Amino acid sequence: MMSSETAGPGTLVTPQWLEANRSERNVRLIEIAGMNQDDMQAYKAGHVPGAICWKWKEALWDSHMREFPDPDEFARRMGAAGIANDTTVVLYGEGIQFGIYAWWVLTYCGHKDVRLLDGGRYRWEAEGRALEVEIPPPPAAASYEPVSPNPRMRIFKDDILEAIKRKDHVIIDARSPEEFNGERVAAYGGPDVGAVRTGRIPGAQHLFFEDLLDETKSFLPKGQLQAIADTCGLNSDDPVITYCRMSHRSTVVYFVLTQILGTPDVRVYDGSWTEWGNLVGVPIER
């Protein structure tokens, strides 16, 4: 039987919890290989023991459209990974935001028990736990019945335009200060590409996703997170929209608000700046 110890309300688990539960038959541990990890370099160099690896686009997006898999395709992929409807899926990523993004996508697509390893491999190693380089054998396929997605987790560009007009949402931009201020399209460290215009959605508040994490890439204590959220002028019942450049970083804010601080109405604009910064005629603020 799985240990009941978790950090937070159940979706965020500690390395100690994972150490005690990762060998359970009903637990599937997955590392998400994110941007610049096409060869799964970090995973191959050392991963949390027992983890399989998914490349983020192949696993989380539709194969043709900029969209998530439909219920039948989602069920096929989950079953092929040895995941049944009642499997506890534990995720972490390289970079850290990709594990959180995968948590959001699987939850959006309707899987019931998705958890996040706090700090991923960074906290795992910082606490003295070993990584392994051996790649585990592919899991045996499982039966997975199609499930319905959770549409209230997501928002689209037309809804953003209406929210701007009504001024009835708090819009949070999770990008770097340079992106938010209109100095760059993408964060430093990579090519400055992804949209034809720089800037931000009008009225957006800035909350850089890395400010929510400590030196081990774990979430800060709840009190500190609340204080940071308060700087955006959030009241507990405010509807919130989060976005970034491609939506990975915005899911970090989504996770903090919904899973740690209990904010009831939060949606991710997953089109984010790669859509908004390329649209004709939408308002942009700098």
Which are the catalytic amino acids?
Answer: 244
Spell out the long-range contacts of 213-222 with Cβ–Cβ below 8 A and sequence spacing 24 or more: 213/96, 213/252, 216/119, 216/122, 216/123, 216/126, 217/96, 217/119, 217/120, 217/122, 217/123, 218/118, 218/119, 218/122, 218/123, 219/8, 219/12, 219/118, 219/256, 219/260, 222/260, 222/261
In order, the DSSP letters of 53-83 are: EEEHHHHHS-SSSSSPPPHHHHHHHHHHTT-
Q: What's the CA gap between 101 and 120, in Å, rounded?
A: 13
Q: What's the CA gap between 174 and 116, in Å, rounded?
A: 19
